[in-house]
Each structure stands twice: as C-alpha cells, then as structure tokens.
Amino acid sequence: MQDAWRREREAAGAGATDVQNELAARVARETNQLDKWCEQKLADINKRHTHVPYNPSAYSYLTLDPPISDPQGIWEYIHFHRCEFRKF
C-alpha cells in the first residue's frame, strides 16, 4: 500500500495539493480498514484456539534486534498481539 501511495504522490507532482489531500484521506481510510481487518482476524484466531498458557521461552524473540525478514516480523507481531488480546 505504501508503494502505491508513494507512486501516486510522485505522479501528482509537488504542486498538486488537492491530489495530496485526497491521497492523505485515502491513506487514513485504508489504514483504518487494515487495522479493523487485523483486529477481526485476531479475534477469529482467538475463537478457534484455546487459551495459550504463559511460556517465557515463547517471548525470547522479542528483543530490540530487528526481525530477520518482514514475513517473520509480521508473524511475531501477530503472535504478540494475539497474546495481548487474550488478556482482555
């Protein structure tokens, strides 16, 4: 999504404030949609799986080091939020 937004902004040029404002509104709308989609998927996952007991070794990857790759990072993010979501 970010690449598509960047390409549209660059194609519009520096002086196209109307296009930039429209693009900013679209970015906010699409980001909000993605956030809602992620929350729904996490809720679906939590409904399908039983409670996961606390295991300190499961959190050993949560360090200040960057993730190995983007796909690995997104799975760590989803796992972390799934565990956080279960607290509520």
**9/36 same-domain check:** yes
What's the pLDDT at 75? 78
Task: Give, as one character, the DSSP assignment of residue 66.
Answer: P
Give the count of domains, the chain: 2
**16/57 same-domain check:** no
* Residue 87: pLDDT over 60: no
Model confidence, pTM: 0.47
Q: What is the DSSP string of 12-64?
A: H-TT-HHHHHHHHHHHHHHHHHHHHHHHHHHHHHHHHSPPPPP-GGGGTT-SS
**44/62 same-domain check:** no
User: In terms of residue numbers, what domain contains 8?
Assistant: 1-49
**8/43 same-domain check:** yes
Ranges of beta strands (E only) in 1-88 are: none
CA 82, distance to chain mean position in Å, is 13
pLDDT digits (tens, 9 = 90+) for 8-40: 777 777 777 787 788 888 888 988 999 999 999
